[in-house]
Amino acid sequence: SRFETCWPALMKDSHGVIIIFNPELPSHLKEIEMWYSCFVQQQPLLDSQCLLVAHHKPGSAGETENLSLAYPLNKLKLIHSNLEEDPEDVRMEFIKYFRSIITIMNESREREEMSIIS
C-alpha cells in the first residue's frame, strides 16, 4: 500500500495493535493476515498485545457473528462491535484490553529495572 514507508515509524515503540475490519468483506479477511504479520509478528509483539475488532455496519446481516478465523488469527482476542446494539459491551472490551497492555508494560519495565540492579 502507499503507506508502507510510514509503517516503521508507526510501529516504533508500540505496545499494542488493534486491527479493525469488516467481516463481510472477504478481502479484509486476507488483509488482516498481512497486518498481523507486519505489525505483530515482525515487531515482535505478543498475541495478547493484539486485539481484533470485527466491526458490523448498522443494518448489516449478523451471520458473520460466528466468524471462524484461520490460524494464526484464531489465537487472538476477537470482539464484535456493533455500535447500534451494544456500544457498552465494546467499551468494556476496550478497557479490558488497555488494562492488559498496561500490565504487560509494567511487567517489562520491572524486568528491565531488575536486570539493571542485578
**Chain segment 50-103, per-residue pLDDT in tens:** 999 999 888 776 555 678 888 999 999 999 988 777 788 899 999 999 999 999
The residue with greater pLDDT, 87 or 15, is: 15
Q: Which pLDDT belongs to residue 83?
A: 77
User: What topology does CATH give the domain 8-117?
Assistant: Rossmann fold (3.40.50)
Range of lowest pLDDT (2-6, 40-44, 76-80): 2-6
Q: Grid coordinates representing 113?
A: 529495572
- Averaged pLDDT for residues 28-42: 90
- pLDDT higher than threshold 70 for residue 112: yes
What are the boundaries of each domain within the chain? 8-117
Torsion angle of C-alpha atoms 52, 39, 47, 79, degrees rounded to 10: 0
pTM: 0.83
50 neighbors 77 (Cβ within 8 angstroms): yes
32 neighbors 19 (Cβ within 8 angstroms): yes
